[in-house]
Amino acid sequence: MPALSRPAAGRRVRALAPIVTLMAVLLAAALPAAAPAASTPKRTSAKLKLSTTSTVTQGENGVQHMHFVYGPVKINPGQNSIFFEPNTVRPKEDGYFTRFEPNLIYQDGTIPRVDVVHLHHAVWMINGSPTWAAGEEKTAAIMPPGYGYPYRTTDRWQMNHMIHNLTPNATSVYITYDLDFVPATAPQAAAIQPVRTQWLDVVGGSYPVFDAIKGTGHAGGTRYTYPDDAADPGVRNAGRWTVGRKQTLVFVWGHLHPGGLYDDLKITRNGVTKLLFRANTKYYEPAGAVSWDVAVTVTPTDWRINVQPGDVISMSGTYDTSRASWYESMAIMPISVADGWSGVDPFTQPYPTKGVLTHGPLAENRNHGGARAGLPNPLKLLGTTAPVSQVAIDDFVYGQGDLSAVGRAGRLPVVHPGESLTFLNNDAFDVNRITDPRTIYHTITACKSPCNRQTGIAYPLADGKVAFDSGELGFGPYRNAAQRKTWSTPKTLATGTYSYFCRIHPFMRGAFRVVKLKGT
Q: How far apart are CA 397 and CA 508, in angstroms?
A: 7
Write the interaction track for Cu ion spanning residues 116-155; mark x where CB under 5 A is met and - where it is not. Answer: ----------------------------------------
Q: How far apart are CA 466 and CA 212, in angstroms?
A: 14
Q: Minimum CB separation from Cu ion for residue 280, in Å? A: 32
Write the interaction track for Cu ion spanning residues 402-441; mark x where CB under 5 A is met and - where it is not. Answer: ----------------------------------------
Please report, for residues 61, 63, 182, 194, the alpha-carbon distance to residue 58 in angstroms, rounded to integers and kept in the order given.
9, 6, 10, 22
Q: Minimum CB separation from Cu ion for residue 402, in Å? A: 11
Q: Minimum CB separation from Cu ion for residue 338, in Å? A: 45
| Pick 355 or 510: Cβ nearer Cu ion | 510
Whether omega for the bond prior to residue 300 falls within 30 degrees of 0, making it cis, is: no
Q: Minimum CB separation from Cu ion for residue 427, in Å? A: 7
Backbone angles phi, psi at 187, to 5 degrees: -60, -35
Q: How far apart are CA 364 and CA 26, in angstroms?
A: 11
DSSP letters, 340-365, are S--SB-TTTS------EES----GGG
| Pick 167 or 454: Cβ nearer Cu ion | 167
Phi-psi region of 131 (alpha: psi -120 to 50; beta: other; left: phi over 0): alpha
14: contact with Cu ion by CB under 5 A: no
Side chain identity, residue 500: Y
Of the candidate residues 223, 257, 323, 442, the single one contacting Cu ion (CB under 5 A): 442
| Pick 260 or 510: Cβ nearer Cu ion | 510
| Pick 111 or 397: Cβ nearer Cu ion | 397
Dihedral sign computed on CA atoms, order 506, 508, 509, 510? negative
Site size toward Cu ion (CB under 5 A) is 4
Segment (H or E) for 172 = strand 171-183
| Pick 110 or 169: Cβ nearer Cu ion | 169
HSE-up of residue 268 (Cα within 13 Å, Cβ side): 9
| Pick 214 or 509: Cβ nearer Cu ion | 509
Please tell me the chain's helix, strand, coil percentages from 3-state DSSP, rounded to the nearest 5. 5, 40, 55
Q: Which of residues 278-317 bind Cu ion (CB under 5 A)?
A: none
| Pick 321 or 454: Cβ nearer Cu ion | 454
Q: Minimum CB separation from Cu ion for residue 365, in Å? A: 21
Q: Locate the DSSP E strands across 455-494.
A: 486-488
DSSP letters, 426-439, are GGG--GGGTT-TT-
Q: How far apart are CA 120 and CA 330, in angstroms?
A: 11
Q: Minimum CB separation from Cu ion for residue 473, in Å? A: 8
Q: Minimum CB separation from Cu ion for residue 467, in Å? A: 18
Q: Which of residues 483-512 bind Cu ion (CB under 5 A)?
A: 502, 504-505
| Pick 77 or 360: Cβ nearer Cu ion | 77
| Pick 78 or 317: Cβ nearer Cu ion | 78
Residue 110 DSSP code: P
Cβ atoms < 10 Å from Cβ of 7: 13
| Pick 195 or 502: Cβ nearer Cu ion | 502
CB 12 within 8 A of CB 396: no
Q: Minimum CB separation from Cu ion for residue 502, in Å? A: 3
Q: How far apart are CA 340 and CA 305, in angstroms?
A: 11
Q: Minimum CB separation from Cu ion for residue 213, in Å? A: 20
Q: Minimum CB separation from Cu ion for residue 172, in Å? A: 21
Residues near Cu ion, by CB under 5 A = 442, 502, 504-505
